[in-house]
């Protein structure tokens, strides 16, 4: 597949600039090769995962590892790994697409994600040539299952607080690792571990490539979890685990840097990885609502049910839009850096660092979208949704972990605001002058909209421009008020993060809808128009509430009143019939027997 090199963006730029639909990639843009990969993945799921779902959930001996091996046989474990190590050398966004499709498989999706992302990519990005040649082919083929050992009983979000130690042996040939890791996915089936430990009294972690056969490794029994019961999760104990010095990954003390970069991958992959599950739940809920008769009518004909289906749909549609937009921005940055002479590994690392803000957004938005969708799915199923006889119960339990791993939603919210502020201080993002412009605008007379614009999305673009002003106003004022102490104001950071996340989702959704309409040469209203209208209404409402909560927390008197007036101005939208719009969206999904109209295939 030939990639087109465009001038890449910088992470967080969406806050300060306006974009057109031709600047974004949407799920509908995937080419035939990528669609064939997705189709092969769907066939694999139907053939190898769904028929064995109960056995997987019960952790039948050898089954999960054998399913990963079969995925490896199809090339699904090495989508973006270079071909010389057995991979397919495809784009980052293609690997996002496969994570998306596999997202409907619950426990298998968790095992797959841990293996392909956090247990394989550290070697691809940070390993030397000898390490890559030795380990990547085994992981890409599925001959070996990989695991990633970072969390400990006293270090979760604060990863660098880990207590696991590594000490050089007397003969200088090995490191002896001692310590405990917990919540380790794939632990019980893994042949290979990436282990983080501090060498002697180092301040920062180092990373080690550990084979199970090295010895000195023991485990507790499988954790009894709320969900994803089919994935292996155990505590691991290292007791003088002897690791050859050549198995130090990258350089001494760079483990924390490796962990941060790999978490960016895990976060955006998780955002995409919920999509298959969301679509499956919507489709099953639509099917049930058409079959369930109450008061002599299928419940799919009731407005309350239609409202739920519409909201499940627009949030899933928005999640698709923001994930693939961010994934392609990462791909474009990789191509730009390659053109500048960097090698592929370094280009990918720097690209992920650049879009760490968007990765955090994808993680938070995706995990909370999945939670919303499965909760509404249970509700649509009513009493049957609470029964283990219907897949909703399992989906409900499986979804809950998504808001916790790869950094909790709370940590990611604070991180993304912190990254924006740091980039502002460094001069990488011009937040300050933009916020000052908005402050001046508050004292000016509002301009009237130009209703003569020919674009059917004109008012939606105007809404996005105003929502950016709302975010910049609150962010700028909070930064000015608290200065260097803003990191202590977690509640306000969370409010601002909510505003930023909703803005990015809303803009991504709008640009996707506009591109679809333009590509199809539609001149009149469409389902995409309705989805955009309803979502921007909800986003404006959420941004208004979060902004008000933030302003109430630190502003007062005339300053508060002025900013509240500005917030009302910037979150105002053109009125439309919300009920009828919601029903039209739901009717489209119901008529198509589920979330199929927007699928890539």
Strand ranges for 200-256 from DSSP E:
206-211, 217-219, 233-244, 248-249
Burial (CB count <10 Å: 0-12, 13-18, 19+), residue 9: middle
The answer to whether residues 202 and 130 touch, using CB atoms and an 8 Å cutoff, is: no
> Residues 342-362, buried b or exposed e (16+ Cβ, 10 A)?
beebebbbebbbbbbbbbbbb
Tokens of 529: 């128009």
Dist. CA 35–CA 112, nearest whole Å: 20
Helices 490-519 and 409-425, packing angle to 10 deg: 90
Tokens of 109: 């999706």
> How many CB atoms are closer than 10 A to CB 201?
6
Q: What are phi and psi of 151, to 5 degrees?
A: -65, 145
In the block, which residue shows the tokens 């769904």? 50
Rg (Cα) of the chain, in Å, rounded? 24
End-to-end Cα, the chain, rounded Å:
18
- Asked about 346 being catalytic, the answer comes back as no
Dist. CA 409–CA 395, nearest whole Å: 19
Dist. CA 216–CA 200, nearest whole Å: 19
Dist. CA 77–CA 68, nearest whole Å: 8
> Residues 431-444, buried b or exposed e (16+ Cβ, 10 A)?
beebbeebbebbee
Helices and strands of the chain, counted as H and E runs: 20, 10
Q: DSSP H helical segments within 161-204, as ranges?
A: none
The answer to whether residues 486 and 550 touch, using CB atoms and an 8 Å cutoff, is: no
Q: What angle do CA 374, 506, 517 make, to 5 degrees?
A: 100
The answer to whether residues 299 and 289 touch, using CB atoms and an 8 Å cutoff, is: yes
Q: Which residues contact 233 (CB under 8 A, 6 or more apart)?
A: 183, 184, 185, 187, 188, 222, 223, 225
Across-strand partners of 185? 233
Tokens of 122: 């550290």
User: Which one from 406, 489, 502, 507 is the annotated catalytic residue?
Assistant: 406
Enzyme catalytic residues: 406
């Amino acid at each position: 597949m030939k990639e087109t090199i465009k001038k890449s963006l910088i992470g967080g730029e969406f806050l300060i600039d306006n974009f057109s639909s031709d600047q974004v990639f949407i799920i509908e843009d995937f080419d035939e090769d990528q669609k064939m990969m997705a189709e092969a993945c769907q066939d694999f799921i139907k053939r190898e995962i769904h028929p064995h779902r109960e056995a997987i959930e019960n952790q039948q001996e050898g089954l999960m590892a054998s399913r990963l091996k079969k995925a490896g046989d199809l090339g699904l474990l090495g989508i973006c790994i270079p071909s010389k190590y057995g991979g397919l050398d495809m784009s980052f966004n293609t690997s996002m697409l496969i994570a998306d499709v596999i997202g409907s498989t619950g426990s298998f999706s968790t095992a797959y994600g841990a293996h392909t992302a956090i247990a394989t990519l550290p070697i691809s990005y940070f390993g030397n040539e000898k390490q890559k040649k030795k380990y990547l082919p085994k992981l890409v083929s599925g001959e070996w299952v990989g695991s990633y050992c970072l969390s400990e009983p006293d270090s979760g979000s604060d990863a660098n607080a880990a207590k696991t130690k590594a000490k050089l042996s007397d003969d200088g040939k090995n490191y002896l690792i001692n310590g405990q890791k917990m919540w380790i996915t794939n632990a019980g089936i893994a042949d290979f571990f990436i282990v983080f430990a501090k060498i002697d009294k180092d301040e920062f972690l180092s990373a080690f490539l550990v084979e199970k056969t090295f010895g000195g490794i023991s485990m507790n029994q499988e954790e009894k979890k709320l969900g994803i019961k089919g994935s292996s999760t155990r505590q691991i104990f290292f007791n003088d685990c002897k690791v050859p010095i050549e198995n130090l990954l990258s350089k001494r003390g760079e483990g924390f840097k490796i962990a941060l970069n790999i978490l960016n991958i895990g976060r955006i992959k998780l955002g995409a990885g919920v999509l298959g599950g969301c679509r499956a739940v919507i489709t099953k809920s639509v099917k049930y609502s058409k079959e369930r008769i109450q008061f002599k009518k299928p419940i799919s004909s009731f407005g309350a049910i239609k409202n739920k289906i519409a909201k499940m749909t627009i949030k899933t549609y928005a999640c698709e839009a923001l994930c693939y937009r961010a994934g392609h921005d990462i791909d474009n940055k990789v191509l730009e850096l390659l053109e500048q002479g960097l090698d592929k590994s370094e280009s990918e690392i720097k690209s992920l660092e650049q879009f760490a803000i968007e990765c955090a957004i994808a993680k938070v938005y995706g995990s909370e979208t999945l939670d919303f969708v499965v909760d509404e799915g249970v509700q649509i199923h009513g009493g049957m949704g609470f029964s283990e006889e219907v897949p909703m119960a399992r989906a409900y339990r499986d979804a809950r972990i998504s808001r916790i791993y790869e950094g909790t939603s709370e940590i990611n919210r604070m991180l993304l605001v912190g990254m924006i502020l740091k980039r502002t201080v460094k001069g990488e993002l011009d937040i300050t002058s933009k916020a000052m412009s908005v402050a001046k605008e508050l004292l000016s007379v509002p301009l009237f909209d130009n209703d003569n614009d020919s674009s059917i999305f004109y008012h939606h673009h105007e809404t996005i421009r105003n929502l950016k002003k709302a975010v910049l106003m609150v962010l700028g004022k909070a930064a000015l008020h608290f200065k260097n102490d803003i990191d202590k104001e977690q509640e306000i950071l969370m409010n601002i993060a909510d505003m930023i996340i909703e803005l990015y989702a809303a803009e991504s959704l709008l640009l996707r809808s506009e591109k679809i309409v333009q590509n199809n040469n539609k001149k009149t209203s469409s389902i995409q128009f309705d989805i955009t209208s309803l979502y921007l209404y909800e986003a404006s409402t959420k941004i208004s509430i979060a902004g008000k909560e933030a302003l109430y927390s630190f502003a007062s008197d005339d300053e508060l009143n002025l900013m509240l007036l500005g917030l009302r101005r910037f979150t105002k939208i053109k009125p439309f019939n919300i009920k009828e719009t919601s029903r039209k969206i739901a009717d489209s999904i119901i008529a198509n027997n589920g979330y199929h109209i927007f699928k890539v295939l």
